[in-house]
Amino acid sequence: MALRAFGAFLRQDSLLSFFSFLEKMSTTSLSKGVFSFRGKKKKPSPKDFVENECGLKSQQLNYYEYLCTELHTISQKIHADMAQDLFTELVSYVTICGQKRSEEEIHAAAIVTGVNTPDHSVLYSNLCSKLVEEVTPHVILIESKSNTTKLIMQSIASQLNSIYEDDENVVKMPQTHCAWSHITEWHRSLISTSSPKKVRKTTKTDTKRRTASSHPLVLLFEAFNNLPVSCLQDFILSCRNHLADMSIVLVFGVTLSLSSLRSRLTHEISTMLSIEAFQMKSSSVYLNQIIDRMLLNSDLPFRLGGKTFQLLLDNFLCHDFSIQKFLHCMQFCVMDHCLGNEHSVSCIARGKVLSNKNLDHIRKLTSFNKFVDDEADPKLQSRLLEDAAYTKSKILTLLEDINVYHRKQPYVTRCLHTLSKSIPKSAFGKQLREVYYSVLNGNFNAALEEDFKLFSVLSRNALQEQLTAILEIMSDCPVESDVSSLRNVLDKLSNFEELLEKSELNSAANKTSLVGKKMDMYTLRKTLQQQRPKHVTLFEEIRGEAVDALRSFFHNEVVHFKKLPLHELFYYDDIKTLKSAVNALPRVALFTALSKPHVYLHDVPKLESSQSVTSQLPDTSVAFKLHMECSTMINIYDWMQAFLSVHEGDDSKGEQHLKQLCSRFSHSAAEMQLLGLIKSTKRKTDHVTRLTWGTI
Amino acid sequence: MDSHVQCRYHQCAMLKSIITKVNTVPSIFVHGHTASGKTLCIKRVLDQQELPHVLIHCAEFYTQKLIYEHILTQLNRTNQPAGKCEDMNSFVRLLHQTLKHERYTNTTAYLVFERAEKLRSLPANVLPALLRLKELSQSQVCVILESEIPWENFRQFPTGYREPITLHFSPYSKDDLIEILSSLVPDDTDKDFYTNYCHLIVNVFFTITRNLRELKYLANMNFKKYCEPVNTGAVAATNHRALWKAIEPQLKTAINSIYLHEMSSSQWEKVQAEDEGAIKLTDCNLKQSVELPYFSKYLLIAAYLASYNPAKSDRKFFVKNCGRLRKQTLTKNPDKTSNQIIGPKQFQLDRLMAIFYSIVEGKVMPTTHLYTQISNLVSLQLLATVSGESQFDSPKYKCLATLEFIQSVSRTVEFQILHYLHDFN
């Protein structure tokens, strides 16, 4: 939600720039006259605001929407794939439990989800719908916010009522004071009226339907950790009391580990449960999937730059294992990219004619300028800057180059990953994300050399496996690349035995040449010594070849994106905007606002140093700066005197003015208390305590 | 109906003498451990005499209104709620009306409250009024309270209680347990064979549990395995010694896993089918690795340090160049209790953040993400808020994680926790 609001805000921002643009365009028509007529009232739509005559803005919006839907579909697919195993296991477990009734034990499942709190609600709602589809219509999701018995019973009542909304034979439950007796009554009424037609079910096959009464009642607790123990224990006790009437299956969402579930329940209660644990895949596995399928997707004309990628990664690994937040941040990047980079639209309109305005924009890009500078022929250089048609064709080829690069790069990155995986203590790191990060940052060369040094630990088989794996990956790549040298080395490795025999024969032939010759002791020793340093074995030779082949391969294929002309159109690397939007620093923002108000307020003059205090600053800012000079205890009277002296050197303006200043001071002091910078103290009556550290 | 309840002759006789068609006792209090046959005896006696009664599981009802309405609907034998009944006053009135019905003339209605200790959390007037219900409603009604805790713990307030007749259900003796268990002999099994098995089960598990329900569960779970050698013909059914030898290792693992219910019954069956998987399964259930974000780990460690170190020692551990510390006169109290034994102390958010910043590597900006992690740790129950909600300017926390857990967390970030703990230095 917050992101959407932010999006709206940003669009407004672009709106402003759009209006200023319109102003420039339409000054001529304004001078001719002003007409007023009443039109029909129209509901404004977002497109009204962002469209202009060349359709650029609407294109931008379309582009943004296209990227977002792409990202969304990919993430949905990943979600579905990741949860699939868990869901099938759980569904079969619940089905078995529903059939196998026992009056002693309540069947329960615990889903151990790991720490990423905001992501869970999606998972549980998906699970709910899956269970409704395949097992039983009586699935009740108890959200984390219902954490008292009363609220739990309320949500049970309302959800059960909604299942059989249209059926008059089924007893309705009271919304506010629902008790277990109501639920049993409801269940009894189901048995007496049970007929398959009554069930509001999504499955269409009649054969699948069983009578409603035989369905188990599945209660899904979204956040087990938030429930108070007493409430949970009461709930389990009452479930057990009613096991004779109906079959109940409990599903708990446990965040950390199963032991937390056991430690919270008394032994008596936990003996009533027969729990089976289901482990969810950890969120880092999720992240790997996202990087593999979303960021390394060759079809997506959007990439994260090195810095932005690192920020998102850091936020994920260091702060919260939240996939959802990661995706939101991605979406923000896409949005900011589309807004700040108007000509990025041209990426998808590759075949279409570029407008002159687009060309101007592109000519201003640093990477394009660099490309022009690198152009050896001065004639071509000037053509690139002036001849529109030539530039257009050149841009198209450049775009095609980038496209090829994008299609190739994921595969090459994966090759690097297979390499780094097999080498112990690889300079890249074991994870795909680390490899991708160093590729994006352009420091892969040093790491690659480090890795080649460690290559000597690899055995022949391992080397062979490596090369086959790399060749296999590259064979999937849609764009052809030069792997012939790699293939050669691999051939040599596979025919190693034959080669070894040959070389042994050779060396044997060399050695035999010594026998029979007549020579003295000295020459013999010398010839033998000359032969000795030749102990580079055949394998080492081939390994050296392999290293050379790999080096040249990676040097050719792994190019840092910043070296590509027009990379700005595809890569988002605006770390400053992203940081300010994603990593909110409330305390720091407050301090900047108070110590350097000109950052936020335009009518305040910029100060030479942040320490200086003038009367032009806002009152609170003055009070804040003065309080920074004090020790932990602030004498209010002294503080006020300092405040007054800032505003006027002497009290010549009369008592009225002084009174005004006093009230302004008390107002700003109250504001500071509200902001949590000072606190009243009981130790000294006319003092306040400072809650901030240090000085400016 | 047979009123015979095994090993509870005395209590049954006592109940029978009190619970009669018309009685004069206003309230009875029955207490005893779980699974000691309280409810069974009371129900048997009531059913046998076909007396009108209402069973109330107190854990199910979270307000008094629900209890009253439940009782009234049950006594009226209708499905319709008997009108609004919000408090004790109207309950007494409605009960009086209900019991005027000819069905209840010259018959005492019995209200049986299971887990009566839950009644204590209701308003203070409920329990005293229930004990005097007969007097207040001026009708034939008797309240039976059933609980696991003795009556003394019910008297929170000194006045208004009318002492009920108390009846204690003592725990079953070993012989009782064997007798009851062997009476539950499954069909197509020899009785002596099963009795022998029960002897074995009770002897093995008696030191850990005397709960009949648990023992029943354990007996059920292991019986199949016990029969196995007999069914295959390897051992004669009378050769108790060989049977014991065969089942012994199985029961030993059962002590660790089954009793704690670490495995569900179906998992246990699976394990029995494939013997070797036994250890593996318990392992995967117990060792659930805990994954926390990087800074959360540091926050947790900082919280632990703040909780278990005295604030005075912070200077010693966290100030990098603190100059010369004043040499303490070494009059260390030899029997100074360790903080590990006393338990965690509360600390302020400021102190937590200060320790966090001194132990964490690299520069960390105080983003909102960082602060939300603290509340996230609270929801994971690794921290607990101590201060009330009104104190939002300086919230106080306590660390709930164990030393073992913290050690494993700090190992993942390569932080030497023991070097920073006051108790270990």
In DSSP notation, A265-303 reads S-HHHHTTEEEEEEEPPPHHHHHHHHIIIIIT-TT-S-E
The amino acid sitting at B43 is K
What pLDDT is stored for residue B4 in this prediction? Answer: 67
A288 and A350 share a domain? yes
Distance of alpha carbon A443 from alpha carbon A345, whole angstroms: 30
Tell me, yes or no, if B266 comes closer than 8 A to chain A by beta carbon.
yes
Q: Are residues A370 and A305 in the same domain?
A: yes
Of residues A100, A93, A96, A190, the one with CA closest to residue A138: A190
Tell me: do A97 and A188 sit in the same domain.
yes
Confidence of residue A416 (pLDDT cuts 50, 70, 90): confident
Phi-psi region at B320: left, alpha or beta (left = phi > 0; alpha = psi -120 to 50): alpha
Q: B103 — contact with chain A (CB < 8 Å)? A: no
C-beta of residue A338 within 8 angstroms of C-beta of residue A67: yes
A619 & A473 share domain: no
For the segment A581-597, what is each residue's pLDDT rounded down to a tens digit? 888 888 888 888 888 88
Within this chain, do residues A395 and A473 fall inside the same structural domain, yes or no? no
Q: pLDDT-derived band of residue A17, with 50, 70 and 90 as boundaries?
A: very low
Residue A469 lies in a domain: yes
Phi and psi (nearest 5°) for A109? -125, 140
Which of A241, A257, A281 delimits the end of a domain?
A: A281
Q: Which of A95, A153, A234, A325 to probe the B interface (max B CBs under 10 A)?
A: A234
Q: Are residues A527 and A668 in the same domain?
A: no
pLDDT tens track for A82-96: 888 888 888 888 888
Residues A572 and A333 sit within 8 Å (Cβ to Cβ): yes
Smallest CA–CA distance from A148 into chain B, residue: B62
Range of A102-106, A678-682, A692-696 with top mean pLDDT: A678-682
As a whole-number percent, the residues of chain A with pLDDT over 90 amount to 2
Tens-place pLDDT, residues B371-390:
888 888 888 888 888 877 66
Task: Locate the chain B residue with the closest alpha carbon to A241.
Answer: B57
| Residue where one domain finishes, among candidates A281, A303, A324 | A281
Distance CA(A669)–CA(A52), nearest Å, equals 50
The residue with greater pLDDT, B12 or A480, is B12
Q: Give all domains of chain B, ordered by start, each with its CATH number.
A: 9-169 (3.40.50.300), 174-286 (no CATH), 294-319+341-424 (1.10.10)
The tens digit of pLDDT for each residue in B131-150 reads 888 888 888 889 999 998 88
- The fraction of chain A above a pLDDT of 70, given in percent, is 80
Confidence check: pLDDT of A523 > 50: yes
- pLDDT for residue A602: 84
The answer to whether residues A224 and A127 belong to one domain is yes
Chain A residue numbers with beta carbons less than 8 Å from the beta carbon of B210 are: none
| Dihedral angle over CA of A389, A393, A398, A400, nearest 10 | 150
Q: Which residue of B has its CA nearest to A325?
A: B369
Question: What domain count does chain A have?
Answer: 4
Three-state DSSP class for residue A574: coil
What ipTM, to 2 d.p.? 0.82
**Which is nearest to B41 in space by CA: B78, B76, B13, B70?**
B13
Q: What is the pLDDT of residues B152-169, one digit of tens each?
A: 888 766 667 888 889 998
**A410 contacts A435 by C-beta, under 8 angstroms:** no
Residue among B69, B211, B291 minimizing CB distance to A115: B291
With a cut of 50, which residues of chain B have pLDDT below it?
1-2, 276-288, 329-330
**Within-domain flag for A253:** yes
Read off the pLDDT band of A57 (50, 70, 90): low
Residue type, B241: R
Interchain contact B76–A (C-beta under 8 A): no
Same domain flag for A258 and A347: no
Instruction: Considering only the beta carbons, identify the residue of B59, B285, B370 that sits closest to A258.
Output: B285
Which of B71, B210, B264 is the best substitution to test chain A (most A C-beta atoms within 10 A)? B264
Of residues A63 and A75, the one with the higher pLDDT is A75
Assess if residue A38 is contained within a domain: no
Contact A318 B66 (CB under 8 A): no
Q: What is the pLDDT of residues A260-279, one digit of tens each?
A: 777 778 877 877 888 888 88
Q: Kindly report the nearest CA distance between residue B214 and chain A, in angstroms.
A: 8
Give CA A104 to chain center in angstroms.
Answer: 46
**Does B184 touch chain A if contact means CB atoms closer than 8 Å?**
no
Distance (Å, whole) CA A61 – CA A55: 10
Rounded alpha-carbon distances, angstroms, from residue A434 to A38, A284, A312, A427, B363: 61, 13, 13, 10, 21
- Residue A512 sits in the same domain as residue A547: yes
Examine the domain organization and report whether A163 and A264 are in the same domain: yes
| In-domain check, residue A72 | no
Both A535 and A655 in one domain: the answer is: no
For residue A591, tell me if it sits in a domain.
yes
Q: Which residues of B touch A586 (CB under 8 A)?
A: 368
Task: Write out the two tokens for B75.
Answer: 């006594």
Q: How confident is the model at residue A20 (pLDDT cuts 50, 70, 90)?
A: very low
Domain presence at residue A45 = no
Q: Which of residues 80-99 of A touch B (CB under 8 A)?
A: 96
Is A375 within the bounds of a domain? yes
Q: In the prediction, which pLDDT does B335 show?
A: 54
Contact between A234 and B366 using a beta-carbon 8 Å cutoff: no
Is the minimum CB–CB distance between B265 and chain A shorter than 8 Å?
yes
B367/A584 touch (CB, cutoff 8 Å), yes or no = yes
Pairs of residues, one from chain A and one from chain B, whose beta carbons lie less than 8 Å apart? 134
Residue that wins the pLDDT comparison between A128 and A425? A128
Q: Which domain holds residue A639?
A: 586-690
* Residue in chain B lying closest to A588 (CA): B366
Residue finishing a domain among A579, A610, A643 = A579
What is the β-pairing status of strands B27-32 and B165-169? Answer: parallel
**Closest residue of chain A to B73, computed from CA coordinates:** A181
Reported as type and span, the H/E element at residue A690 is: strand A687-690
Find the helix or strand (DSSP H, E) in which A251 lies: strand A248-254
A257 touches chain B (CB under 8 A): yes
- Residue A253 and residue A186 share a domain: yes
Residue A21 covered by a domain: no
- Within B162-256, strands assigned E span 165-169
